Amino acid sequence: MSAPVAGARAGNPAEDPNAALMNIGQVLEILRPDFPTISIPKIRFLEDKGYVSPERTPSGYRKFSSADVERLRYVLVLQRDHEQSHKRIAEILDAIDRGLEPPPLVALNPTVPEVALSSDGMPSPESFRRNDEVRLSRKELLKIAEISEDLLTQLEDFGLVSAKPATGHYDTDALVVATTAKQMSDFGIEPRHLRAFKAAADREVGLVEQIVAPQRKSGDAAAKARTEDTVAQIAALSLRLHATLVKTGLRRI
């Protein structure tokens, strides 16, 4: 990913003034192939952060230039691939706006192992078979996830994150939950609101346990492998169904 060009600086689009401007829906469609989880609220949130300043029509509608889109793309790469905080992104963009060269896009922090995704963006069964051996101390989890001690304590209190009893270390799943909770907190969603997600997940796990119980009781030497495969397949299908139902419901809002 290259750095944003001069035309991508906020309030200083070095573009053909006659170039067509885009509405927020068009920007969404341009970015979505590279960022499947991008949404209109996310774009508005990045605007609220001051990362882009699209023009406004007399009626108040946003109009984005191609430079605005490339600037948004750069910000999204900094977030997704380089885990930069909002404070750091603001500092980088400010430096670029003042004519400085952007820093090399090199990941300096440990990153979460990539989860296999299917073509529709949903986790595949392989992602549920992943069993990494990442072990993080509490201090490392706080630093990498960029969360406060208070937020982590709340996540633990509500049963969303827990350290391994034997070692006291946190695994990759704990890091993903902590990072996601931090991102959701940007929208005012607190750990107490996430209890519903935990309850729904527990119900889905209970259903899977009922289904594979007969396989576990089998004396077949391959029973364990069949159980693991069944769990992975049902988990992927369950998550796909859950995500699709949520997406369908949100369309009514």
pLDDT in tens, 108-151: 455 555 554 455 666 667 667 656 667 889 999 999 888 999 99
15 vs 39 pLDDT, higher one? 39
CATH class of the region 6-97:
mainly alpha
Contacts (Cβ under 8 Å, ≥6 apart) of 135: 164, 167, 169, 170, 171
Q: What is the pLDDT of residue 118?
A: 55
Q: Over pLDDT 90: what percentage of the chain?
A: 34
Contacts (Cβ under 8 Å, ≥6 apart) of 53: 10, 11, 47, 68
Model confidence, pTM: 0.50
* Residue 54: closest CA among 88, 25, 86: 25
Distance, CA of 223 to chain centre:
35
HSE of 163, CA atoms in CB hemisphere, 13 A: 15
Planar angle of CA 34, 35, 36, nearest 5 degrees: 110
Q: Please determine, for residue 245, whether its predicted confidence score (pLDDT) is greater than 50.
A: yes
Q: Please determine, for residue 82, whether its predicted confidence score (pLDDT) is greater than 50.
A: yes
- Structure tokens that stand for 124 in this block: 């595949």
Q: What is the pLDDT of residue 87?
A: 87
Q: Would you kindly state where each structural domain of the chain is located, as residue ranges?
A: 6-97, 125-250
Q: How confident is the model at residue 14 (pLDDT cuts 50, 70, 90)?
A: very low
Q: State mean pLDDT over 35-56.
A: 91
- Structure tokens that stand for 204 in this block: 């889905």
Identify the DSSP state of 191: G
